Amino acid sequence: MYSLNHPELDWKGSSHPYSTTFTDIYYPIEGALQQSRDVFIGGNTIPERLQRRSNQADNSPLVIGELGFGAGVNFLATLQEWSQLQSPKHPLHYISVENAPLHPVDLKRALSAFPELSSFSEELLAQYPPPLRGAHRLHFARNQVTLDLLFQDALEAFESQSFTADAWYLDGFDPRRNDSLWNEKLFKIVRA
């Protein structure tokens, strides 16, 4: 295992990271959480899928794959959505790839923009792994929610993993600025 580089950031305001590598923001300054809820969670009908799973005898988790963990806003918003379900809650397995993980100090600063996610953010920050290449498994909500952070190139990560995602969250950076997450070979894996 070797260490990955943290991204070089500029900050827009006190808590909005801007990638100087990809010359793009991690999330919109206004409405980022609502965008996550509308585009990723709502666009993939995650609440309905979770509710249907809760009504099934089969206890296999709902699996969400993500290209680009970034500041973790989509994961935390999904975790919040999951936590608001009526019991019994069905397991959730969230698998996300990130080739340039934020430094924990930067992650904490970025997540401070979302006070409504603070309890979930604290749980993430307490477990956030060092930037070592490879897979890192984190557990939330008494092991009902599993987050696999794959700190490596997306194509390499998903070629070495064997799972079928029920839903995919695709990288929020402009595709013209981050072509490693927007290529045909990777999308063939996502579609499989």
pLDDT at 28 over 80: yes
Confidence tier at 177 by pLDDT (50, 70, 90): low
Cα–Cα dist 117/79, whole Å: 9
Domain layout of the chain by residue ranges? 9-191
Please give the pLDDT value at position 188: 79
The hierarchical CATH code for the domain 9-191 is 3.40.50.150
- Helix, coil or strand: residue 192: coil
Q: Under a CB-based contact definition with an 8 Å cutoff, are residues 71 and 26 in contact? A: yes
pTM here is 0.91
Residue 43: beta bridge partners?
none
- CA nearest 92: which of 73, 66, 64, 67? 64
The CA distance from 9 to 25, in Å, is 9
Instruction: Give the pLDDT confidence score for residue 58 in this predicted structure.
Output: 79
Mean of the per-residue pLDDT values of the chain: 89
Query: Who wins on pLDDT, 162 or 148?
Result: 148
pLDDT-derived band at 80 (thresholds 50, 70, 90) equals: very high
